[in-house]
Structure 1
Amino acid sequence: MLIRDVEDADWPQVWEIVREVVRAGDTFTYDPGLTAEQARQIWVLAPPGRTVVAVEEGRVVGTAHMGTNRPGPGSHVSTASFMVAADVRGRGVGRAMVEHALGWARERGYAGMQFNAVAESNVGAVELYRRLGFSVVGTVPGAFAHPTLGRVGLHVMYCPF
């Protein structure tokens, strides 16, 4: 698997993943009615942020974006988000992208990485993040309206460097 910067020609494949994840409504706080153009504006970050794709045999199987979590006095902490195509989940694509984002942030001198809104029901992601050094530093009860579970908590997770 190759992880590289996103290119304009990748967007149709990236949009397929983003659309699938967002419309499921069970992990991201994005509006399920998000259009391709709205999604591109949110997902593809301008420098100094970065958006990448994970590619296997010419197919985009995952995407991530990373950057500064907050400006000004909070600019020493990074953040990132990840989406993986449903048919390749559980094969290490997400882990590879998280490790890539952590390396990117360390190389740029960030003090750590913070995830602002991880649905507590997204058990696979929460466990992956914990294995890679993150801990839950707080949970907002009932802050995420899961389509089948109802309101579940949103974790704030942090990994110091």
Structure 2
Amino acid sequence: MGIEIRQYRSGDATEAARIWNQVVDDGVAFPQEDDLTDTEADGFFSSQSYCAVAEDTETGRVVGLYILHPNNVGRCGHICNASYAVSRDVRGRHIGEKLVLDCLAKAKEKGFRILQFNAVVASNTHALHLYERLGFVRLGTVPGGYRLNDGTYEDIVLFYHTL
């Protein structure tokens, strides 16, 4: 499987929504609780500072995506935030790593100076290891900062990466 990271297009909305909703429904990474419709997805992904998809170059299928946007406004507007999603059926093939690396480059190109993650769920060990391997700095932990699908609470970890 060859992977190309490219800018999101409106025609990607259905596949992007499917992948995004998988992560929302898993309930162990994203703060959102409601699935996106195709129409909502296109508006959501198009409204970001940047949105990219990972496309399988052999099939043309979208298998992952990321969104990039400011983490705050005004005097903190140089700090961005991002979210990543990879289709369940292709996880473990380093697509997430390709998305993160592309995002770091795109964030710098967009004029951001820092990429900050506000809420990496502590049990998301694959994400934790990836971010640390790529040079993200762990800022600390918020005890019980994330509510799981079963109603229990889990710690979240904050990270940043200077661009």
1:41 Cα deviation (Å)?
6.7
Q: Distance in 1 between matches of 2:83 and 2:16?
A: 13
Query: When the two structures are superposed, what TM-score results if normalisation uses the length of structure 2?
Result: 0.89
Which residue of the partner structure matches residue 40 of structure 1?
41
1:109 aligns with 2:111: yes
Shift of the 158–38 alpha-carbon distance from structure 1 to 2, 3 Å rule, reads farther
- Deviation string 1:78-129 (CA, Å, 9 cap, x unpaired) is 2111000011111011000000000111223322110111111111011101
Shift of the 156–45 alpha-carbon distance from structure 1 to 2, 3 Å rule, reads farther
- Deviation string 1:105-154 (CA, Å, 9 cap, x unpaired) is 12233221101111111110111011111122021101112236931111
What percent identity do the matched residue pairs reach? 33
1:43 Cα deviation (Å)?
4.0
Q: Does the 8 A contact of 1:66 with 1:80 survive in 2? A: yes
Shift of the 44–78 alpha-carbon distance from structure 1 to 2, 3 Å rule, reads same
Query: When the two structures are superposed, what TM-score results if normalisation uses the length of structure 1?
Result: 0.90
Number of aligned residues: 159
- Computed over aligned residues only, the root mean square deviation of the Cα atoms, in angstroms, reads 2.0
Unaligned ranges ≥5, structure 1:
none
Bigger mean CA deviation after superposition, 108-117 or 142-151: 142-151
Which residue of the partner structure matches residue 97 of structure 1?
99
Q: Does the 8 A contact of 1:63 with 1:83 survive in 2? A: yes
Unaligned ranges ≥5, structure 2:
none
Q: Does the 8 A contact of 2:13 with 2:39 survive in 1? A: no
Which residue of the partner structure matches residue 70 of structure 2?
68
